[in-house]
């Protein structure tokens, strides 16, 4: 039986994204875990993980680069290959999982678990209205997302094998990374910092109605803890789980806390096409980097404005039930309103924002 004290070795695919990086930092601090991290980029922080640059879309590169990973016990798949169209994302994102396991399974004889990182798009949030609170066994939406295809593929692959699988479905993830396709925290943080630099109060830039809707986040550090817990808890095997901080909030309640962090006044909502307006702020950011001695990142290296347009652009409650993971034994809950600035402080400490 797996216990917290059992030595384990994780392979994290997509180790420098929001969720992959949080998991890597969490496992780095656990003496019973060692980590192999897969990323096309080198880490920009100190870590004890072994980093391997591998093209997950290339079967031959996967076989060559992963042939020595014989002691992997747990795979955490957080990699993502974006495409302009939902249908176009299916084939490449399923292929990456397949290429990884085709290369790893023959050599990793002690493989115990494979976990997929998914999200609320499983329920059709990208289509508009969907049933809330979303439950893991809800009927699938009419449009297939790569999340569905990946899980179907993994379930079929696992049938009759000694290892087990799981899938995590967080909602908004509040954590730091650079060069990530999906990062809510750095988008909001940089939007606020630029607004302050230009002498403006902090105005909500998303859909005006969404400012008052119910929403859920999970702090990336809590998500990392949940990922490791699910992957090593026998009762959680072969299942998918919604995961959030455990509470609900409305943006108009937490927006003043963000403004207070930046020492700004709160303005009335001012919906904008975020990627169009903020995409032109690179020169402003470059001046801020010099003026405040920030880490030398370009603005497009820390923010994907198109993701912020998507994440803040709807006008519906977005609520997921966490009953299933709670019944499985998960008990950690964080209050979003009182922890909303945790990761902002980390961005400041790392000189990402002023």
Structural domains in the chain plus CATH codes: 8-172+217-243 (3.40.50.720), 180-216+248-317+335-349 (no CATH)
**The pLDDT value given to residue 300:** 92
Share above pLDDT 70 across residues of the chain, in percent, rounded to a whole number: 99
Number of H helices, E strands in the chain: 14, 11
For tokens 């990336």, what's the residue? 220
206-247 tens-digit pLDDT:
999 999 999 999 999 999 999 999 999 999 999 999 999 999
pLDDT at residue 5, rounded to an integer: 78
pLDDT band at 3 (very low <50, low <70, confident <90, very high): low
Q: Tell me what pLDDT residue 6 has.
A: 84
Kind and range of the H or E run holding 66: helix 59-66
At residue 351, the pLDDT reads 95
Residue 1, pLDDT score: 54
pLDDT average, residue stretch 174-198: 90
Range 55-77 average pLDDT:
98
C-alpha to C-alpha distance for 314 and 32, rounded to whole angstroms: 42
- pLDDT at residue 298, as a whole number: 94
Is residue 138 over pLDDT 80?
Answer: yes
The pLDDT score that the predictor gives to residue 339 is 93
Cβ neighbour number for residue 161 with a 10 Å cutoff = 11
300-315: average pLDDT:
91
Q: Is the peptide bond before 133 cis (omega within 30 degrees of 0)?
A: yes
Better-predicted residue by pLDDT, 125 or 97: 97
Res. 290: pLDDT tops 70: yes
| Average pLDDT across the chain, whole number | 95
Token reading at 343: 């990761």
Indicate if the pLDDT at residue 179 is higher than 80.
Answer: no
User: Residue 2: what pLDDT?
Assistant: 62
Mean pLDDT of 49-59: 97
By the 8 A CB rule, do 214 and 250 touch?
Answer: yes
**pLDDT tier for residue 319 given thresholds of 50, 70 and 90:** very high
Residue 307 pLDDT greater than 60, yes or no:
yes
Distance CA 254, CA 257 (A): 5
């Amino acid at each position: 039986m797996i216990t917290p004290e059992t030595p384990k070795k994780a392979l994290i695919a997509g180790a420098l994204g929001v969720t992959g990086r949080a998991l890597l930092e969490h496992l780095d601090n656990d003496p019973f875990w060692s980590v192999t991290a897969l990323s096309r980029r080198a880490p920009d922080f100190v870590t004890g993980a072994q980093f391997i640059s591998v093209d997950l879309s290339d079967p031959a590169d996967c076989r060559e680069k992963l042939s020595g990973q014989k002691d992997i016990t747990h795979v955490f798949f957080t990699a993502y290959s974006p495409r302009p169209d939902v249908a176009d994302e299916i084939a490449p994102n399923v292929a990456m999982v397949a290429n990884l396991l085709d290369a790893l399974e023959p050599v990793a004889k002690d493989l115990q678990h494979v976990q997929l990182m998914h999200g609320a798009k499983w329920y059709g949030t990208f289509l508009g209205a969907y049933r809330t609170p979303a439950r893991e066994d809800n009927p699938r939406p009419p449009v297939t997302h790569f999340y569905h295809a990946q899980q179907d593929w993994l379930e079929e692959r696992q049938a009759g094998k000694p290892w087990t699988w799981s899938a995590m479905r967080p909602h908004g993830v509040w954590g730091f990374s650079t060069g990530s396709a999906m990062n809510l925290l750095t988008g909001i943080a940089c939007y606020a910092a630029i607004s302050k630099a230009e002498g403006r109060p902090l105005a909500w830039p998303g859909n005006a109605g969404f400012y008052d809707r119910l929403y859920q986040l999970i702090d990336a550090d809590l998500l990392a803890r949940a990922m490791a817990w699910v992957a090593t808890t026998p009762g959680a095997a072969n299942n998918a789980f919604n995961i959030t901080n455990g509470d609900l909030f409305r943006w108009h309640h937490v927006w003043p806390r963000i403004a207070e962090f930046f020492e700004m006044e709160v303005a009335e909502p001012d919906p904008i096409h975020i990627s169009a307006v903020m995409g032109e702020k690179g020169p402003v950011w470059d001046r801020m980097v010099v003026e405040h001695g920030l880490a030398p990142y370009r603005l497009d290296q820390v923010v994907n404005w198109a993701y912020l347009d998507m994440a803040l652009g709807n006008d519906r409650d977005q609520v997921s039930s966490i009953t299933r993971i709670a019944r499985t034994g998960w008990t950690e809950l964080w209050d979003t309103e009182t922890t909303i600035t945790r990761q902002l402080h980390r961005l400041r400490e790392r000189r990402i924002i002023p």
